[in-house]
Structure 1
Amino acid sequence: MDSLIENSLNNSYTYTEYRNHISHLLIDGLSTGHTQSEDLTHYSTLNEVRMNRLDKTIIITPEVKSKLEGLKQEHILLVLSEGWCGDAAQIMPVINKMAEATDKLELKIVLRDDNDALMNEYLTNGSRSIPKLVLVDKDTLTARGSWGPRPHGAAKLIMDYKEKYGVIDQEAKTELQKWYLHDKGESTMEEIALLLQNADNVIVAG
């Protein structure tokens, strides 16, 4: 696993590089990923607008900021993502803000379709759902846990909708975007901060 993580890190983007890569592809009417379609390019365009807005508006809560400042160990946040993914557009700016808030965190992003081996290690109920965050100990490159593809509240919304209607349609996606808008990234921050604290405590105790 350590060599897989090392290979993935060698194939990774910083947040700025990731954003620039998506923007450059869109100029040519393309999206990230091995599949190309008008829909995926459309979603990528919408997501770029969302990420631009979130980059300016996301604020780390005082509680989460305190937890981040209290980290003792250095971690890499290795995230599987794609530019067309609606959840990733809502979550990546939040993770980036968290990484910017402390020198104990470094964000690295890899594209799902270019990293099959890593994705297959972190499936969600057998599916290649993204974004998926792998928490990596910076010193040893050992995986210390994972998170994603959605905060618990967003995951429950989708699960309940599918149970009620049998499908995930456009209305479900609209409801999901409303949930993210109302949540302001706070659930994502809190859940990832908890993951970090738990890993930190295990490493220190070890």
Structure 2
Amino acid sequence: MVRAAELWNEAMTPDEYLQQMTKNRERFEANITRTRIMPGDWAAFGQEPLHILVLTEDWCSDSAQFVPMVIRLSQLVPTVEVRILRRDEHKDLAEQYQRKDGYQPIPVFILLDAEFQELGALLERPERATQEMTEETRRFLAEHPDLPGANRMIDRMPEETRQAVKAHIAAWRDEQFDRWTRYLIEDLAEIAKSAKLRVA
């Protein structure tokens, strides 16, 4: 079984990842710039080295939203370092980070301490963001009962309805950017803090 720490040195720096992106690069770069790192983040992450290994692909909308946040964190907090692996090229590692329902999440944020011991991982997106997105999808569909198959699961909806939902959620989630940045930063800090408390 391959460990995340074993792949750190072959993983891409954020700049190397950006150079090879073929999808979502403009949005990705804009999201790095718009990410706001707060004074409290220095207290949470600035005390000792933290390595964040990200499994991702450039076509993923969650990756385009959330990966730039950790890159910005690493740009502003010197103790945080980020490296990136393409998930589909490292399936042996990715398979170790599945959701409870067996789904293979993307992105995956793997936290490693100064000695490259794994502290924990955040899968896909903060749970609070997932809950809000589910609620907003329900609200949107309830407001648009005229959409064909609006009462079905999204993977069973007609294509036109599925595209309407996706377009609405894409615009809506962009409006949540600052709040969801807080969710991600807080959840990553909690993973790191909880791991240290377990060791202590």
Smaller-chain TM-score bracket: 0.7 to 0.9
Cα distance change, pair 61–107 in 1 and its aligned pair in 2 (3 A): same
Q: Are 2:133 and 2:173, in contact at CA under 8 Å, matched by a contact in 1? A: no
Stretches of structure 2 that go unaligned for 5 or more consecutive residues are 139-149, 156-161
Q: Return the letter of the residue paired with 1:82.
A: E
Stretches of structure 1 that go unaligned for 5 or more consecutive residues are 27-43
1:117 aligned to 2:92? yes
By how many angstroms is 1:65 displaced? 4.2
1:108 to 45, 60, 83: 83
Equivalent residues in 2 for 1:100-179, closer than 5 Å:
100-124=75-99, 125-139=101-115, 141-160=116-135, 161=137, 165-167=152-154, 169-179=162-172
Cα distance change, pair 4–67 in 1 and its aligned pair in 2 (3 A): closer
Aligned length: 180
Equivalent residues in 2 for 1:1-206, closer than 5 Å:
4-22=3-21, 26=22, 44=23, 47-69=24-46, 72-124=47-99, 125-139=101-115, 141-160=116-135, 161=137, 165-167=152-154, 169-200=162-193, 202-203=195-196, 206=200
Between Structure 1 and Structure 2, whose CA radius of gyration is higher?
2
Q: Are 1:132 and 1:146, in contact at CA under 8 Å, matched by a contact in 2? A: yes
Cα distance change, pair 5–198 in 1 and its aligned pair in 2 (3 A): closer
Moved more, 143-152 or 183-192: 183-192
Cα distance change, pair 120–201 in 1 and its aligned pair in 2 (3 A): closer
Q: Normalising by structure 1, report the TM-score.
A: 0.75
Q: Considering only aligned residues, what root-mean-square deviation do their CA atoms show, in Å? A: 2.5
By how many angstroms is 1:10 displaced? 2.9
Q: Which residue of 2 aligns with 1:35?
A: none
By how many angstroms is 1:102 displaced? 1.3
Q: Normalising by structure 2, report the TM-score.
A: 0.77
Identity, % of aligned positions: 23
Which one has more relative contact order, counting CA pairs under 8 Å at least 6 apart? 1
